[in-house]
Amino acid sequence: MSLAVVKSRALAGMRAPEVTVEVHLANGLPSLTIVGLPDTEVKESRDRVRSAIQNCRFEFPARRITVNLAPADLPKESGRFDLPIALGILAASGQIPATALADHEFAGELSLSGELRPIRGALAMAHALAHAQAPTAFVLPAANADEAALVGRATVYPARSLLDVCAHLMARDDGDRLVAHRRAAPACVCDYPDMSEVKGQAPVKRALEVAAAGGHHALLIGPPGTGKSMLANRFPALLPPLSEAQSLDVATVLSLSTQGFDPARWGLRPFRAPHHTASAVALVGGGGTPRPGEISLAHHGVLFLDELPEFDRKVLEVLREPLECGRITISRASRQAEFPAEFQLIAAMNPCPCGYLGHASGRCRCTPEAVARYQGRLSGPLLDRIDVQIEVPALSADDLANQPACESSDDIARRVGAARARQISRRDRPNHALQGRDIDRFCQPTSAAAGMLRHAANRLHWSARAYHRALKIARTIADLDDVDTIDSAHIAEAIQYRRAVSAK
């Protein structure tokens, strides 16, 4: 038979559409042509496949070989098609049985010796295969087996070389077959630093507790060395554990990145802290072949932006839509890709260019114009979307030396978990995600509290968004107090979290 068909998968954003690799051998001058919208990496597989087949002691056909990657309008990238192309050539030339290919899908990059190297996006491909109409077995490099096996419904066969795959397809008894890789029960070991290590700053810890309980974004403002970064690094330990579905979503997004996903971090919320020199593409994702950016890699986790005003203003403005909708769509001339971005933003900044505005030492020499210009790097629409804005004051040496023992992250996390459970039972979502009628239904304050909120909104010139976000913060504070009614104390605390910086 001079025609062979092999199944594989491509990557298109979070999706992994099926790709049919068709290999045809014809008479003519020896050549290998790959069609079907391949990029440079796929075209280069010709040399890798030829060397791998020969070094595995198979015969590379001296015929005109045409490889078609269907559908033709779907862009194909990376070396994951090396293995299916090699198997198609061997099946079309009669060196392995073509009928054995029907029940499998294949992906893997070949070395010149025939060894299989790890690929990007194995988890996304295994997830798509497991939910296909007719699920099949998935053969992939052994280095990706733990990752792909996290999808419980997928049958994963890890292989170390092209020879292992061929032996599996040609086996007459189970002794020569690849062994299906079973999912090991991941041990979720939280390695986040503990909040008890931060001395003092009780009001800030309370604000972060509120932010964690309701999923609200937060901005920490204070002089250098007051613990802003320490607090942010310890914030993920306050968040509730990820569900099975959320853990799989996080792992799938990370598997699409160049770093890949480490199965040892299964169930842990991601914490991303890009440098302030990061570009807009690095933050939201993109490229010729769209890949997830930092906001997607922080999906169901925390995105920490330190020195917030030092980011380019155009870079910060791209955060507006993802902060609201939790998704990012990257559009290119030839394709579109959509990635999830339900992250929690924790940002930190100094109050002025020198950093010491309001410090007890009186060291600040910045003019009012310089302070306004510095804070004006953050636009009003962006600040409007950050629910909790809290000052982190400097502590004196006496305060640091005399601080009593602080609460641990576990103590705070228990209260956060109880408040989040109330929210999920009420509307199956955290308070920050309440919209429209849900706000009217679940965030109604008492008459006295409503009057206090209206007065604050008029005095501080809040937008409608800021008004409703204050209501949602008050709802979270009431949930932490385990009460159904939003009273004046809850509204007063919520108002204080919206006053740390003025929008310019």
Q: Show Cβ contacts of residue 154 under 8 Å, excluding neighbours closer than 6 positions.
A: 126, 127, 129, 130, 135, 138, 148
CA nearest neighbour of 266 among 244, 289, 299, 238: 244
Computed over every residue of the chain, the mean pLDDT equals 91
pLDDT in tens, 104-139: 999 999 999 999 999 999 999 999 998 887 778 999
Distance CA 186, CA 150 (A): 9
Q: Are 306 and 372 in contact (CB under 8 A)?
A: no
Q: How far is residue 270's CA from residue 297's CA, in Å, rounded to a whole number? A: 7
The neighbouring-strand residues paired with 138 are: 105, 156
Has residue 244 got a pLDDT over 80?
yes
Q: What is the DSSP string of 289-334?
A: TTEE-HHHHTTTSEEEESSGGGS-HHHHHTTHHHHHHSEEEEE-SS
Paired sense of beta strands 302-305 and 291-292, if any: unpaired
Q: What is the rounded CA–CA span in Å between residue 120 and residue 257?
A: 7
Q: Domains of the chain, with CATH numbers?
A: 3-176 (3.30.230.10), 195-496 (3.40.50.300)
| Token pair belonging to 98 | 């073509």
CA 436 – CA 430 distance, rounded (Å): 14
Concatenated DSSP letters for 140-153? EEGGGHHHHTTSTT
pLDDT tens-digit map of 28-67: 999 999 999 999 999 999 999 999 999 999 999 999 999 9
Q: Do you find a cis peptide bond into 224, omega within 30 degrees of 0?
A: no
pLDDT (0 to 100) of residue 503? 44
Tally the C-alpha atoms within 13 A of residue 239's C-alpha that lie toward its C-beta. Answer: 27
pLDDT in tens, 250-274: 999 999 988 888 888 888 999 999 9
Q: Alpha carbon of 328 to those of 13, 224, 293: distances in Å?
A: 11, 33, 10
Q: What are phi and psi of 79, to 5 degrees?
A: -90, 10
SS3 state at 131: coil
Quick check: 422 pLDDT over 80?
yes
Q: What is the pLDDT of residues 180-229, one digit of tens each?
A: 888 765 656 677 899 999 988 999 999 999 999 999 999 999 999 899 99
Round to whole Å and give the CA distance between 452 and 454: 6
Helix axes 122-130, 244-255, angle to 10 degrees: 130
In this structure, of 70-84, 116-130, 327-341, the range with the lowest mean pLDDT score is 327-341
Q: Calculate the dihedral angle through the C-alpha atoms of 352, 353, 355, 359, rounding to the nearest 10 degrees.
A: -50
| Residue 147, CA distances (Å) to 17, 153, 259, 265 in order | 19, 13, 13, 11
Amino acid 188: pLDDT: 61
